[in-house]
Structure 1
Amino acid sequence: MADETDRVTTCRNCGRNNRVPAVGEGRPRCGNCGAELPWIADAGDQDFAEIAEQAEPIALVDLWAAWCGPCRKVSPALEEVAGQMAGQVKLVKVDIDAAPRLAQRFDVHAVPTLLLLDHGEVIGRQAGAAPAAALRQWVEETIASRRGARATAHG
């Protein structure tokens, strides 16, 4: 049964539309060809923990506002990164005007503010808009340094 938080995502591999829930086990895959799908969800004060903090891949959180020009500029770039990194990140979009507790919790003074969360722990933070290539590089480098730190701690 479809939920109002589900998004329809087009598979980059075969072009089929797939319904992707905001919350779920594992990582979304195309029902037609099995390719990993971009996982993009909206979250607010009430459901952020379930959608972002409990996400299995790293959560790329976009704290944005409807009145913010740079936020509108960076949104397509973030969705591009989510598509390129399908299976590795979950893009979670938070409208700070609708989620003031999250804006306060993450000490947001400028939008867009981007966070990388690993099971609720902030492992990366960046303010301002950037092109998709720069955003992807930031995400990849942050994830790689996180994995490196884990390997050192366990080795």
Structure 2
Amino acid sequence: MKGFLSRLGGVRGYSSIKKDLQVEGIKHAIAVASGKGGVGKSTTAVNLAVALANKCQLKVGLLDADVYGPNVPIMMKINSKPEVTQDKKMVPIENYGVKCMSMGLLVDTDAPFVWRGPMVGNALGKMVRDVTWGKLDILVLDMPPGTGDAQIAISQLLHLSGS
């Protein structure tokens, strides 16, 4: 982790950071979250992911966990549906050196869709576990506003390195 942190320009490491994420191949997960909408979470998550991939030369994934307003595909200029492997895993779409997955790539975002508690958890579980992320130094998560079902689901799926 020291080499990784040195590439971030002087950020110190803390021994309390959990290194045993529940998803194989993902070293660290960082959630960009806020209790309020419209404050720049998606913008921050996208810029953080692109900077870590390009400036720090890290292997980065970006998960748009905002099931209520998935904006990452627009910001990352991706609009194709992810391919599915023979073992039924989705292949993230890569742009700007970042592997991306978003509910916005899977459903028609113009059509109204009501997300209920268990549906949110199941969808996010699939987007974390059923995606061929490969080996990642960091998975950046763009969280929906609030402290509800999505936040609980992510905290149960991943040991967050930071938020």
What is the TM-score normalised by the length of structure 2?
0.31
**Structure ranking higher on relative contact order (CA contacts 8 Å, 6+ apart):** 2
Q: Which has the higher strand share?
A: 1
